Amino acid sequence: MRERALAEALRLGAGRFTLDRSLTLALLRSANGWLESRARAKAMLDAQERAAMERDRQAALARKELAERLNRHGLEERETSITCKLARPCSLP
């Protein structure tokens, strides 16, 4: 059932999304040919994509602001160096 919902999401041109219960049901109905559910599933996928883009934008602004603050304190940091440091795996002793 999950694979069928994922296939329908990809057929509808979905980007990044989280497959929750309501989206799964809408996608399965869409796969069965329900036009109403297809529109609902597409709207849910679009909303999740917009939310992901907004989170990415907010994270980029936060990295830029952090770089500016560190530079004010005398540490030479750029937004890209902060991004690389955050992407590293954490190794705790």
Phi/psi region, residue 39 (left: phi>0; alpha: psi -120 to 50; beta: rest), is alpha
* pLDDT (0 to 100) of residue 93: 64
Tens of pLDDT, residue by residue over 50-73, are 888 999 999 999 999 999 999 999
* Distance separating alpha carbons of residues 11 and 20, to the nearest angstrom: 18
**What is the arithmetic mean of pLDDT over 27-32?**
87
The residue ranges of every structural domain in the chain are: 2-87
One-letter identity of residue 38: R
Tens of pLDDT, residue by residue over 19-28, are 888 888 888 8
